[in-house]
Amino acid sequence: MMEQAFEQGRWRRIFLFVACAMVMASYAWFAVRVYRAQQLADHLDQPSIEKAVALAPQNATYHEQLCRSMLFVSQQTERAVGECRKASELNPYSSAIWLDLAQAYYSVGNIPLNRAAAYKALAVDPTTPDTAWSAANFFLLQGDTNEALHQFAIVLQEEPSLAPSVLNSCWQSLHDIQRMQSILPPNPEVYLAFIKLLLSTDDSNSAHQIWLALMQTKVPFDYHHGLFYIDSLIQAHAVDQASEAWKQLSSMSAALQAYGQPNHLVMDGSFTQDILNSGFDWRYSPVPQIALTLDDTAFHNAAPSLKLVYSLNGSDAGIFQYIAVHPDSRYRLSAWVKSEDIETANGPALTLLDGYNKTVLGSTEETIGTTPWHRLDTELTTGPETKLLLLAIQRHPGETQIQGTFWVDDIQLEPMQP
């Protein structure tokens, strides 16, 4: 009896061992197939991907890879449809697969199914920028601009950094400023990107419209990012618009407001702010033989002053400022200056020129030798066409030799009564 029970137990153990061995063998066989399929798929060439599909026919990713290879490499569009359809059946929760299927349907001219697949992708992934971007392009190709704009609006909302590309695609297809404006989210980054695009196409009127819309949003942003627009207006001789845009930008930024002086037209005439090199603030380009710095140790009213050290010659000190003015109007320029050991026949002076034709309209007295702080001033009348002045520190003529140090502070320009 005991021998019979022992025999039965032995056979049971043998059966369990064989069963376990078969399970392990099956698992090992499956693991090898999966590993081999992955190796083949990693090769990326179509024959290898086809072998990967044969080894792992239930893997949606391999079917999608094969679909993409057929679409974009071998141009087997009909077969690509089948592979992408199979991938979507195996994994209906991948927006990328649905978008590939939409591309496959588009490649064979099946627009209704292309559209249906695009909507499937959006249903799976309704707010991801990449999905909305791809779907929008499909709708744009179909001529459905309303749906395309709706999806592009999602991209702009979720990923503002894509604004230049999105807006360029929309603008090339539509050229409709009202419809374009309707999809802009209340994000200054997007508005500014659109303004840059419009300026690049020389559409200054539309750029101005979008700038005004940006100002109406009242959403604060770093004023530095808006200075390019003012520069573009100055370059286009649109001085009135440039001046208004500067005021609008200043109204949204206390930091930019600090550059202005009540009742005076020169920005940061005491040099207490960072030089913006833009807009209506100072602009500076280094000039050989003239070292320009801010001096906290010598100043007229409050630190710092602008210090220029001349070592050889030169006419222009390399620093200037544009100032918006009215034609046929009188102005008074004043500044406080001092000097040390300036040896030359022609000393530095503050000069006002027409901002566009560079005609000299007024200049202070030259400064030579060593002088304490003293006030310089001059009066001028703008011409009938003058709307922009250029304020600079110059020597006339500038070819003569010069050495020494010149300080300037508290520069002001104020309108005078007619």
Task: For each of the domains in the chain, give its residue range(s) and CATH number, in order of start.
Answer: 282-415 (2.60.120.260)
The answer, yes or no, to whether residue 26 has pLDDT greater than 60, is no
Q: At 166, phi and psi to the nearest 5?
A: -60, -50
Pull the structure tokens for residue 306: 């602008």
- Which residue carries 């697969």 as its tokens? 97
Task: Count CB atoms within 10 A of the CB of residue 307.
Answer: 22
Tokens 């030169």 identify what position?
314
pLDDT band, residue 52 (cuts 50/70/90):
low
The tokens for 7 are 């025999």
Classified as helix, coil or strand, 276 is: coil
Encoding tokens for residue 298? Answer: 């010598």
Per-residue DSSP letters for 218-287? -----GGGGHHHHHHHHHTT-HHHHHHHHHHHHHT-HHHHTT-BTTB-STTTT--S---SSTTSEEE--B
Rounded Cα distance between 200 and 194, Å, is 10
Given a cut of 90, whether residue 76 has pLDDT beyond it is no
Q: For residue 225, what is the DSSP state?
A: G
pLDDT in tens, 125-174: 999 999 999 999 999 988 999 999 999 999 999 999 999 999 999 999 99
Which tokens go with 147?
């749906």
- Does residue 378 or residue 50 have the better pLDDT? 378
pLDDT given at position 3: 56
Tokens 């979507």 belong to residue: 88
Count other Cβ atoms within 10 Å, centred on residue 326: 13
Query: Which pLDDT score, from 0 to 100, does residue 70 have?
Result: 81
Give percent above pLDDT 90 in the chain: 70
> Quick one: pLDDT at residue 306?
98
Beta bridge partners of 375: 336
The pair of structure tokens assigned to 317 is 């000190």
